[in-house]
Amino acid sequence: MTITQDQPTPEVASATLAELLRFSLADLSANRAGTLSDAQRNRLTTQFRRAVAINGALVFFIILAATTLIFFGSQHSNAVLLLVGIALTIFNAGLVGVTAQIVMRHRADTAASPLLVQEGEAKRILRMNPRTRTSAYIVQVGGSEIRAAKPVFNAFSEHSRYRVYRTAGSKQVLSVEKL
């Protein structure tokens, strides 16, 4: 089910996109020139380090758990412990793959490659999932969809023209300007 909304809600109408997306005029100026500002680069690096640290800790503890389960499973001839240990090892390999994707996206985001710039009329779409009864807030600008939090979704004006600056790898929204 797709519902199009025309008016922002009153509680968020005063909030600007700059406040909600945490960018400054200096960030916007750097984005217009096709580069990241120092503040944006630092924010992306902080997000990257946090994600890698969490995934690294998970990988370590899963290795520990899998090794322990496989050891006790083989010592006591317990097939269930052995199979759970093997399943954890396979899961851990997937987690290492996700971590590698995070590293590649960060490199693409912070490389000297140009930013993605999308320009066009904004269309706000609220997608409801009938099975889970959850909402997805989507803003379409220039033919591409941006999944947004509700306050950001409400800050966009329907049928107004915007220019959106995004990173090349992860497609994170860096800054937005109303034209």
Residue 99: pLDDT band with limits 50, 70, 90: very high
Q: What is the pLDDT of residues 145-166, one digit of tens each?
A: 889 888 888 888 888 889 999 8
Q: Which of 4-8, 24-28, 127-131 has the lowest mean pLDDT?
A: 4-8
DSSP string, the chain: -EEE--S--TTTTTS-HHHHHT--HHHHHHHHTTS--HHHHHHHHHHHHHHHHHHHHHHHHHHHHHHHHHHHHHHTT-HHHHHHHHHHHHHHHHHHHHHHHHHHHHHHHHSSSPPEEEEEEEEEEEEEETTTTEEEEEEEETTEEEEE-HHHHHHSPTT-EEEEEE-SSS--EEEEEE-
pLDDT for 6 beyond 60: no
Q: What is the pLDDT of residues 54-68, one digit of tens each?
A: 999 999 999 999 999
The reported pLDDT for the residue numbered 1 is 42
Q: Which of 4-13, 75-84, 157-166 has the lowest mean pLDDT?
A: 4-13
Read off the pTM.
0.74
- Rounded mean pLDDT of the chain? 86
The reported pLDDT for the residue numbered 7 is 47
